[in-house]
Structure 1
Amino acid sequence: MLNQPIHIAQNQENASSTCYLIRNWMRWAIFFFLMASLLGLLLRYFFVGGAVLLEYKNVLHAHSHIALLGWGFLLISGTLVFSLVKEKARLKTYKNILTALVIVNLGMLLSFPFQGYGLYSITFSTIHLIIGYVFTYQIFQDLRGIQKGTARYLIRYALIWMLVSSIGLWAIGPIATTLGRLHPLYFLSVQWFLHFQLNGWFMFALLGILALMLERKGWAIPFNGIKLWLLQGSLWLSLALAISWSYNYPILLYINALGVILQAIAYTYILHPFIAAAFPTLSIPSGWVNKVLYFGILSVIAKALIQLALIFPEVASISYTIRMFVIGFIHLLLLGSATFALGANALKNNILPNGPWSKWGWLTLIVGFLFSELLLFGQGTLIWAKLGFIPHYHLLLFLSSILFPIGLLMILTDSLLNKHLPMNERKMKNNVITQISINNQTMKKTIIMSLGALVFLMASCGGGGESSQGTYTPPAAQKEKAADPKGIGEIRTVDLGDGIDEVMANKGKAIVDMKCTACHQLNDKRVVGPGFEGITNKRRPEWIMNMITNVDVMLDEDPVAQALFEECLVRMPNQNISIGDSRDILEFLRKNDFERTGSKDAAVK
């Protein structure tokens, strides 16, 4: 009996330590989510107002790394620590891991926007990879503490797929050194990482955490070995779509079709008992936290349904050639599925605040997510159907993206105010108030400094001018001299005629609006691809038309196209534009150059 008060006190101390560690963990996760959203907003601004100081691709790399390794990794890892770790001695290990993760993420945040892939950014990324290995080893130890079942199986394989995904990152350096950054294996290594990160590590962890939530409430998830291996098989088979980005073999699309069918079956087995238990009437539940969880589950279902549409090879082929579909799907998985489902789990367990500020913050996130997804998938569908562009599409996408940092600032503010503690925590608050105050002050200072850095990045936006192209020096200048100025393809002569043919130029503008302005601007600013301004003064008309109609061969064999590819690192998709349509596009580009620069066709004079 004398030991009972000591045992209770120890349990209370462990619970308090767990709570404060995880709350701090989640605050940092939200903070890096905020940074990723500001970088994403800057990416949207490139299409609205351009940029002077920063390279688009550098900001893109910063956004993707902070979103995946800052927000995504911290959200999932923090949830796993909260769900599996209770001993105070073990919490010290995870506290050190969190400290290391925060440092390397801050390093990536402050290096990627300015140098892209450089010494410091690569160093921080590599250290993050090693920390991920340490975290995986530690979680494997704590995973033994839960009973065997669906949740344990899914979480274990989520960790395995995280390790498997890292193979792609380790392969990038040797491939780039030996084969070059234009080799298909280089892009396959990137797609390998993204596939097993998003569809493996993120989705398996999400499903495992949801299953664990039900199992601890006494609800079983009946899922035998055959069904589980259906899920594993679907992950490997759907890798075929990622491979098809690098190797254009039709059989890959059929392999992917089988994979997404198996995935739909496996998701049905997992999600059906969860939905039946958590939302028995299938109606929108009461309480805003339950609504956020419900929205997250709907996002998982939407993700599976969209992938199920890829059973048709025609749909699969456009899923990666239309950029809006690619971005929309990644956002659906990371923002819709992982963020809202796991975020609601954190809200239910009080490791994220659920006060008024937080409530309106999450609602703002949902509204911003819905509007941006409607714009991305809607515009992608219009391009597919050859129906043009949504009026003011880029401006609307920029405005919808503003809602993300607004919502996240509300959530982070609620977390830092720290007013929504459970009763047992309030009793112990006086004992640790000093340490909490120090932690909050430290984080507030870090947030202020990091926001200052992002404000500086945002301040670099605006204006135009020659400096808008950045400081990049095109590589392999000698290759361009040896290249055929007419490019590679069946177009060897082009009759330009006298002046501008307005009818042809108008037809060309309509095609450019539908298929080109997602990646290219009409001025000289490089965004995803180079700006169109001045192209007829730098390239012969035959080269331009061959690049439009014979893009795959040009990227593989033409030195000038390869230099541009190496500069942008985004492969221009083959949109099957006819020779006649390419001639109309050329006429529009001639008109664009004449209106903007006062000259055209200088490359043939």
Structure 2
Amino acid sequence: MKTAPELISQKPTASPIERQLAKPWMFWAVFFFLMASLFGLLMRYFHIGEVNFFEYKHVLHTHSHLALLGWGYLLVTGALVFTFVKDAKRLLTYKVILGISVLSTLGMMLSFPFQGYGLYSITFSSLHLITSYFFAFFFLQDLSRHKETTATRLVRFSIIWMLVSSLGLWAIGPVGALLGRLHPLYFMSVQWFLHFQLNGWFVYGFLGLLAAYLLKNGWRIPVSKKSEWILHLSLFLTYALAVSWSTPIKALFFINAAGVILQVIAYSRILDPAFIQLFQGLKFPKNWIDRMLYIGMMSLVAKALIQAALIIPDVATIAYTIRMYVIGFVHLVMLGSITFGIGAFALKNNWLATDRFSGLGWHFLALAFLASEILLLGQGTLLWAQLGFIPHFPLILFTASSLFPFGLLLIWVGLWRKPAFNETEITIENTIKTQLHKNTKTMKSTMIMTMGAALLLMASCGGGGENQGTYTPPSAEEKVKEADPKGVGEIKSVELGATVDEALAEKGKAILDLKCTACHQLNDKRLVGPGFQGVTNRRRPEWIMNMITNVDVMLDEDPTAQALLEECLTRMPNQNISKEEARHILEFMRKNDLEKTGSMDAAAQ
């Protein structure tokens, strides 16, 4: 039996049919990752300069869809197919599925930046969803032909969680139509999709591939079915934290606490033996491909440890109210565990190029990931400790993020090289092309059926134009008539000076920098939430202070706040700001309006 270093560093030669399909599959996966990174870089630029051609939320939607449904989906599905499917005819079926997936993702990439959620973007995203059902149908059939192991069980459940996650997407249309987009069930539906995508579909896929790799090399992960069910239970229980984002109930924090404890137990039983067999404990490997796998596995460990800290309700609240933590956590799964973990398996099996040029790209990618994680989590911690911002933080984060597209460009260019085929491989390649030509009619039929199903889903989501899915709660008209310009809360009257109180404004700026600028700018440009410029000319001071101190009630009862929520589709977190602090923030907003618009307090007159 080979030693651990020998086994982990070896790269099996891919079969001709596998290589024939792997190259375009990974080519498109990396391409969409590159595009996602460019849109992500554009999002970073919104914090340091003016962007006149795109809206932030449209760029955000484009980035997230390309990252999840372009890079993440294609990387995981490709790795699963090439690991568990060896039949040439079946691989042709997956080639058709790849074509439709690429078409739908290209459609999302070209439509989301300009219209957000609209007719075309919903059509293409729906097409992608239906195509994923075809993939699940065929792959589960192929997986059933393998002997049952820890690897096959984890992979099977990864597919199940992918299907389960889509229930959230199907629920969005009916919930929005019947209850309105402001109802907690609407936000819960969105969080359901994201939770089971990240923590179910992607994480289980990585764990299953890890178990399959160990089994292939003569090792195993001694995990009982009981431990696997502990993992399943933890997945459902940790969804409680996502629910608490829109419905802050104390019981949800305790449910999440039970879930993260079970998750730590399950992860340790899977990852501990893997680290021992692959890396002789936590020893950092010398081979650069092994380093990528090491980063992927350590990212999963970090994810579990961070979630374990959320046992404390106050810490859990901080985790989803400080946006840097949220972004850092999502990146820990997508960029850490999935990109480097499954990416390493793709490198080891020659599905991705492994020359020095590509290796340099992967090192830039790792540097960008580590630097951005340190910045995001570090800045989030400073905000939690009320220590303010790192000097020039947006510019530094933009610079670190620019390494992502640079590294990905090197990796993508490496995939353009044509591998050398021998005569046998050329014969197989020609056979594949002939069979694909014979299946053209089948592919067209599949495309037509898939498009039809996508249109049905689009209809259920209320597709059609930029305002698709915008529903008003039944009693909204009555509420508008009874709307109080002072808002809902205990702030009934605010005394304003004729001039700005500089001392109060300075205190307000410090609080605003600490808790607000991650989502709001001081100009009129919208990031996650609307820009602050002109707010004292549009809203009464009582309304502003009630929105700051009584945010949950305002979002539930005040029509103006509900309209903003429906526009931004991001529920403002309760930052536990006192009345005194809110007054300081109001004073800074007055100063900001005076400097930028030449007037302030127009709404109070």
- Global fold match (TM > 0.5): yes
1:533 alignment counterpart? 533
- CA-to-aligned-CA distance 1:139-171 (integer Å, 9 cap, x gap): 111112322110011001111111111100000
SS in 2 for 1:168: helix
Change (3 A) 1:432 1:224: closer
Displacement of 1:15 after TM fit? 2.6
SS in 2 for 1:47: coil
Displacement of 1:480 after TM fit? 5.6
Relative contact order, higher structure (CA 8 A, sep 6+): 2
1:594 alignment counterpart? 594
* Range with greater deviation from structure 2 (69-78 or 491-500): 491-500
2:234 alignment counterpart? 234
Return the alpha-carbon distance in structure 2 between the equivalents of residues 140 and 380 of structure 1.
Answer: 41
Displacement of 1:429 after TM fit? 6.2
Return the alpha-carbon distance in structure 2 between the equivalents of residues 236 and 281 of structure 1.
Answer: 30
Q: Is 2:149 the partner of 1:133?
A: no
2:307 alignment counterpart? 307
The one-letter amino acid paired with 1:55 is E
1:545 alignment counterpart? 545
The one-letter amino acid paired with 1:535 is V
* Range with greater deviation from structure 2 (594-603 or 45-54): 45-54
SS in 1 for 2:406: helix
What does residue range 41-440 of structure 1 map to in structure 2 within 5 Å?
Answer: 41-418=41-418, 425-426=421-422, 428=424
- CA-to-aligned-CA distance 1:549-599 (integer Å, 9 cap, x gap): 111111111111111111111111110111011111111111111111111
1:8 alignment counterpart? none
Tell me, yes or no, if the aligned pair for 1:264 and 1:305 is still in contact at 8 Å.
yes
Return the alpha-carbon distance in structure 2 between the equivalents of residues 499 and 506 of structure 1.
Answer: 14
1:444 alignment counterpart? none
Tell me, yes or no, if the aligned pair for 2:16 and 2:429 is still in contact at 8 Å.
no
What does residue range 407-486 of structure 1 map to in structure 2 within 5 Å?
Answer: 407-418=407-418, 425-426=421-422, 428=424, 482-486=482-486
Identity %: 59
SS in 2 for 1:417: coil
Tell me, yes or no, if the aligned pair for 2:16 and 2:425 is still in contact at 8 Å.
no
2:562 alignment counterpart? 562
Return the alpha-carbon distance in structure 2 between the equivalents of residues 102 and 475 of structure 1.
Answer: 31
Displacement of 1:253 after TM fit? 0.5
- CA-to-aligned-CA distance 1:364-413 (integer Å, 9 cap, x gap): 00111111111111111111111111111111111111111111100010
Tell me, yes or no, if the aligned pair for 2:47 and 2:394 is still in contact at 8 Å.
yes
Return the alpha-carbon distance in structure 2 between the equivalents of residues 14 and 496 of structure 1.
Answer: 73
Tell me, yes or no, if the aligned pair for 1:299 and 1:333 is still in contact at 8 Å.
yes
- CA-to-aligned-CA distance 1:9-44 (integer Å, 9 cap, x gap): xxxx99312211012111110011011111111111
Displacement of 1:428 after TM fit? 4.9
The one-letter amino acid paired with 2:111 is S
Return the alpha-carbon distance in structure 1 between the equivalents of residues 385 and 241 of structure 2.
Answer: 22
Return the alpha-carbon distance in structure 2 between the equivalents of residues 394 and 251 of structure 1.
Answer: 36
Displacement of 1:284 after TM fit? 1.2
Change (3 A) 1:349 1:553: same
Return the alpha-carbon distance in structure 2 between the equivalents of residues 391 and 584 of structure 1.
Answer: 23
Displacement of 1:436 after TM fit? 12
Q: Is 2:503 the partner of 1:503?
A: yes
Return the alpha-carbon distance in structure 2 between the equivalents of residues 154 and 212 of structure 1.
Answer: 10
Return the alpha-carbon distance in structure 1 between the equivalents of residues 471 and 149 of structure 2.
Answer: 54
1:25 alignment counterpart? 25
Return the alpha-carbon distance in structure 2 between the equivalents of residues 248 and 591 of structure 1.
Answer: 33
The one-letter amino acid paired with 2:57 is K
Tell me, yes or no, if the aligned pair for 1:22 and 1:81 is still in contact at 8 Å.
no
The one-letter amino acid paired with 2:75 is L
* Range with greater deviation from structure 2 (219-228 or 253-262): 219-228
Displacement of 1:432 after TM fit? 8.0
Return the alpha-carbon distance in structure 1 between the equivalents of residues 467 and 374 of structure 2.
Answer: 35
Tell me, yes or no, if the aligned pair for 2:545 and 2:579 is still in contact at 8 Å.
yes
Displacement of 1:291 after TM fit? 1.0
Tell me, yes or no, if the aligned pair for 1:475 and 1:563 is still in contact at 8 Å.
no
Return the alpha-carbon distance in structure 2 between the equivalents of residues 436 and 109 of structure 1.
Answer: 30
* Range with greater deviation from structure 2 (98-107 or 382-391): 382-391
Change (3 A) 1:433 1:412: farther
- CA-to-aligned-CA distance 1:290-326 (integer Å, 9 cap, x gap): 1111111111111111111111111111111111111
Tell me, yes or no, if the aligned pair for 1:14 and 1:86 is still in contact at 8 Å.
no
Displacement of 1:472 after TM fit? 9.3
Return the alpha-carbon distance in structure 2 between the equivalents of residues 431 and 279 of structure 1.
Answer: 40
SS in 2 for 1:195: helix
Return the alpha-carbon distance in structure 2 between the equivalents of residues 164 and 213 of structure 1.
Answer: 26
Return the alpha-carbon distance in structure 2 between the equivalents of residues 337 and 136 of structure 1.
Answer: 22
Displacement of 1:225 after TM fit? 1.6
TM-score (norm 1): 0.89
Displacement of 1:115 after TM fit? 0.9
- CA-to-aligned-CA distance 1:250-299 (integer Å, 9 cap, x gap): 01101111111111111111111111111115311121111111111111
The one-letter amino acid paired with 1:299 is S
Return the alpha-carbon distance in structure 2 between the equivalents of residues 163 and 510 of structure 1.
Answer: 45
The one-letter amino acid paired with 2:136 is T
Tell me, yes or no, if the aligned pair for 2:500 and 2:591 is still in contact at 8 Å.
yes
SS in 2 for 1:552: helix
The one-letter amino acid paired with 1:28 is W
Return the alpha-carbon distance in structure 2 between the equivalents of residues 69 and 125 of structure 1.
Answer: 9
Change (3 A) 1:109 1:435: farther
The one-letter amino acid paired with 1:105 is T
Return the alpha-carbon distance in structure 1 between the equivalents of residues 413 and 213 of structure 2.
Answer: 27
TM-score (norm 2): 0.89
Change (3 A) 1:498 1:360: same
2:6 alignment counterpart? none
- CA-to-aligned-CA distance 1:94-144 (integer Å, 9 cap, x gap): 110000100000011111111111111111111111111110111111112
Tell me, yes or no, if the aligned pair for 1:26 and 1:352 is still in contact at 8 Å.
yes
The one-letter amino acid paired with 2:383 is I
Tell me, yes or no, if the aligned pair for 1:14 and 1:87 is still in contact at 8 Å.
no
Tell me, yes or no, if the aligned pair for 1:14 and 1:88 is still in contact at 8 Å.
no
SS in 2 for 1:497: coil
**Aligned-CA RMSD value:** 2.2
Stretches of 4+ aligned residues off by more than 6 angstroms:
432-437, 471-479
* Range with greater deviation from structure 2 (276-285 or 521-530): 276-285
